Amino acid sequence: MAGELLNCLAALGALLKLPPALLGLTVLAWGNSVGDLVADVAVAKAGQPALAMADCFAGPMFNMLFGLGTALVIQTATCIQKLTYSISMSVLWLRLCSCF
């Protein structure tokens, strides 16, 4: 179903002569967020506005972290060659500070 929706979006972009990147950054992103919007409004109307505000940030963050984390764990587990890399202390410190 999702593939067909993407094909329809690509056809719409071809008809309107819009680049796929523009469609992805606007229409596709908005369509992807409609489910979260409906859930957040329902929670706010149920008398939990603080929970709705928390879900605005926590839901997409969880999706991003869980999705990327799972993909990276699977890729690491199936990687045949061992990868070695080094991180300097300044880069490590910068990454740690950027979390806060």
Report the range out of 3-12, 38-47, 78-87 with the highest average pLDDT.
38-47
Domains of the chain: which residue ranges?
A: 2-76
Sequence-ordered list of residues with C-beta below 8 angstroms from that of 31, at least 6 positions apart, any chain = 5
- Report the pLDDT value the prediction gives residue 42, as an integer from 0 to 100: 95
Task: Indicate if the pLDDT at residue 30 is higher than 70.
Answer: yes
Task: Considering only residues 2 and 48, tell me which one the structure prediction assigns the higher pLDDT.
Answer: 48
Q: Is the pTM of this model over 0.85?
A: no
Residue 1's pLDDT is: 66
